[in-house]
Structures are given as structure tokens and as C-alpha cells.
């Protein structure tokens, strides 16, 4: 559009002042404009092609996690033939049919690269965050939308926020479910990406929050009834030992006298 507009302007200039802008000059201007147009087209972001999966490949389905492509089948749909990935989720054996042509729109993706794992850990280590004053139901909807994106970066952010939140207040039932879901999605995919056991990943994640947890645990907490009972018994035993010691001292002094 810019090209045609400038082209018309140059034509008008040529008409009005041919001595200043002759045919050769106009040709140069057109050439410059065409070069700029080509450069602009080249700089446009190119959409990444949808990933192709083979039978046996691992893939990640948003909000459900890692699954394995068990088959690729063709089905008759609306009078036409469509290919589907038959995917089985590793965590719960759920089977999902995904149209091959809709892979990008549903968010099916490959397993996270090992090189991207430090970014996930870095997100969970972020602490300079704005205070969240939302109601639990609005917060739940926001976190659910992030998990549905299928991005492990978003999942890591949800897990971090809920972990920090539960140190200051009790999570609602829905938030606890989201916390468990986020943890499951993180541990499963990271363990596969790093080729290690899930327990190892869980320990690594917990270590990211250990300084906060230990600080929280170091605060003085009210004694429970069981603690009070143990404390009373200890005081009674200590008092008994002190009385017995004093009695022995008195007997010894009387015998000496």
C-alpha cells in the first residue's frame, strides 16, 4: 500500500517539475522503494510449522501433560477423510484423538528441550512479584487459563505463585487442585526431558523453595495441647529430680552433725 502511494506521489512530482525529477531519478526512487518493500517482507516473523509426530513419539497436550502417540488413524468426518493422532496420556492412561491438521490450534507440542530447563527453574526462583489481592475464584480462573496454554513456563509460574501463597494462607480446594496439577505437569515433563526419576525432579524443585520454607518454619508457633502436656511432664520430672537432690543433701548434713 505504501509502495503504490509513493509511486503516485512520484508520478505527480514528475508531472509538476520534470526538470527536478526526471525519468532516471524516478527509476532510482522506485528501485529503493522495492528494496525496502522486500526487506520489510523478509523481516516479518515466520510462523513455526506445526510439529509432525510419528507412532511412539512423546508429545505434550495442554493441561493433560505428556502422552505417547499410539497410532495415526484416518476417519471419515463430514464426508471427508481426516487423519488423527491417537495419544495416550502417561499420567492417567487417558486416550485423546487429535486431528493432525489442528495440532497447532490445540497446542500439541514436543517435549521441552534440556537447554530450556534452566529457564523453568529461574521462573520458580523469582520472588520480586507484585502482591496479588485477587479473590480466590478470579485467581483460580487466571491460573487455569495459564495451565490450559500448555506452556511449561506458564505452569512453572502458577506453581511458584501457589507455593508462595500457601506459606501465608490456606489454599482453597480449587487452588490446591491446581497446585497438584501444576506440580504433576512439571515433574513429569522435566523428568522425561532430563532422563531422570520424578523423585529427583521433585527434590530439585523443593530445593528452590527451601530457604523460604525454612524461614517460615523458624517462626515461633503456638504450642499445641500435646506440646504443653510434654512440657508439663518435663517440668514435673525436673522438679522431682531437684527435690530428691535437696533431700539427700539435708540427710547428709544431719548425719554429719
Q: CATH code at 64?
A: 2.40.10.170
**Residue ranges making up the domain that contains 8:** 2-35
User: Which tops the pLDDT comparison, 41 or 61?
Assistant: 61
Angle between helices 173-194 and 198-217 (to 10 degrees): 130
What's the confidence (pLDDT) of residue 250? 52
Residues 98, 155 within the same domain: no
Contact 139, 175 (CB under 8 A): yes
What's the confidence (pLDDT) of residue 90? 97
Residues 63, 94 within the same domain: yes
What's the confidence (pLDDT) of residue 2? 47
Angle between helices 198-217 and 152-165 (to 10 degrees): 30
What's the confidence (pLDDT) of residue 213? 56
Residues 122, 101 within the same domain: no
Q: Is residue 138 part of a domain?
A: yes
Residues 183, 211 within the same domain: yes
Residues 120, 101 within the same domain: no
**CA–CA gap between residue 190 and residue 120 (Å, rounded):** 9
**CA–CA gap between residue 99 and residue 73 (Å, rounded):** 10
What's the confidence (pLDDT) of residue 212? 63
Model confidence pLDDT, tens digit, residues 77-92: 888 899 999 999 999 9
Model confidence pLDDT, tens digit, residues 103-157: 999 999 999 999 999 999 999 999 888 877 788 889 999 999 999 999 999 999 9
- Using the 8-state DSSP alphabet, how is residue 100 labeled? G
Q: Residues 67, 80, 62, CA angle at the centre, nearest 5°? A: 20
Residues 208, 140 within the same domain: yes
Banded pLDDT at 71 (limits 50, 70, 90)? very high
- Would you state the cell numbers that stand for residue 52, as one nine-digit string? 509432525
Contact 203, 170 (CB under 8 A): no
**CA–CA gap between residue 153 and residue 65 (Å, rounded):** 13
Residues 65, 92 within the same domain: yes
Residue 189 has pLDDT above 50, yes or no: yes
Q: Which residues have a Cβ under 8 Å from the Cβ of 232 and sit 6 or more positions away? A: none
Cα dihedral: 151, 157, 160, 165 (round 10): -120
Residues 123, 193 within the same domain: yes
Q: Is residue 41 part of a domain?
A: no
Q: What is the mean pLDDT of residues 208-227?
A: 54
Q: Which residues have a Cβ under 8 Å from the Cβ of 143 and sit 6 or more positions away? A: 158, 161, 162, 175, 178, 182
What's the confidence (pLDDT) of residue 128? 84
Number of domains in the chain: 3
Q: Is residue 136 part of a domain?
A: yes
Average pLDDT, rounded, for the chain: 77
Model confidence pLDDT, tens digit, residues 15-38: 444 444 444 544 444 444 345 445
Q: Is residue 226 part of a domain?
A: no
Global confidence as pTM = 0.64
Q: If we measure between CA atoms, which residue out of 101, 76, 98, 103 comes closest to residue 87?
A: 98
Q: Is residue 7 part of a domain?
A: yes
Q: Is residue 242 part of a domain?
A: no
Model confidence pLDDT, tens digit, residues 154-186: 999 999 999 999 988 899 999 999 999 999 999
Residues 28, 96 within the same domain: no
Q: Is residue 227 part of a domain?
A: no
What's the confidence (pLDDT) of residue 210? 83
Angle between helices 152-165 and 173-194 (to 10 degrees): 130
Residues 153, 190 within the same domain: yes
- Using the 8-state DSSP alphabet, how is residue 86 labeled? E
Q: Is residue 174 part of a domain?
A: yes
Residue 107 φ/ψ, nearest 5 degrees: 90, 15
Amino acid at each position: 500500500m505504501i509502495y503504490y502511494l509513493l509511486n503516485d506521489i512520484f508520478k505527480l512530482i514528475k508531472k509538476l517539475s520534470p526538470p527536478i525529477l526526471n525519468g532516471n531519478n524516478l527509476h532510482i526512487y522506485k528501485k529503493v522503494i522495492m528494496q525496502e518493500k522486500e526487506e520489510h517482507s523478509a523481516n516479518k516473523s515466520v510462523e513455526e510449522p506445526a510439529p509432525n509426530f510419528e507412532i511412539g513419539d512423546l508429545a505434550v497436550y495442554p493441561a493433560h501433560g505428556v502422552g505417547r502417540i499410539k497410532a495415526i488413524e484416518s476417519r471419515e468426518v463430514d464426508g471427508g477423510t481426516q487423519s488423527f493422532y491417537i495419544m495416550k496420556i502417561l499420567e492417567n492412561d487417558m486416550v485423546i484423538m487429535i486431528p493432525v491438521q489442528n495440532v497447532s490450534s490445540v497446542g500439541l507440542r514436543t517435549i521441552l528441550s534440556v537447554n530450556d530447563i534452566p529457564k523453568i527453574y529461574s521462573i520458580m526462583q523469582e520472588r520480586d512479584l507484585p502482591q496479588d489481592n485477587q479473590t480466590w475464584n478470579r485467581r483460580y480462573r487466571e491460573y487455569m487459563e495459564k495451565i490450559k496454554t500448555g506452556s511449561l513456563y506458564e505452569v512453572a509460574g502458577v506453581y511458584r505463585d501457589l507455593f508462595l501463597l500457601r506459606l501465608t494462607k490456606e489454599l482453597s480446594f480449587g487452588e490446591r487442585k491446581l497446585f497438584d496439577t501444576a506440580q504433576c505437569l512439571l515433574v513429569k515433563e522435566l523428568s522425561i526431558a532430563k532422563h531422570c526419576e520424578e523423585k529427583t525432579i521433585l527434590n530439585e524443585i523443593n530445593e528452590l523453595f527451601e530457604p523460604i520454607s525454612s524461614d517460615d518454619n523458624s517462626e515461633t508457633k503456638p504450642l499445641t495441647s500435646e506440646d504443653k502436656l510434654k512440657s508439663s511432664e518435663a517440668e514435673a520430672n525436673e522438679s522431682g529430680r531437684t527435690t530428691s537432690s535437696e533431700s539427700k543433701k539435708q540427710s547428709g548434713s544431719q548425719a554429719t552433725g
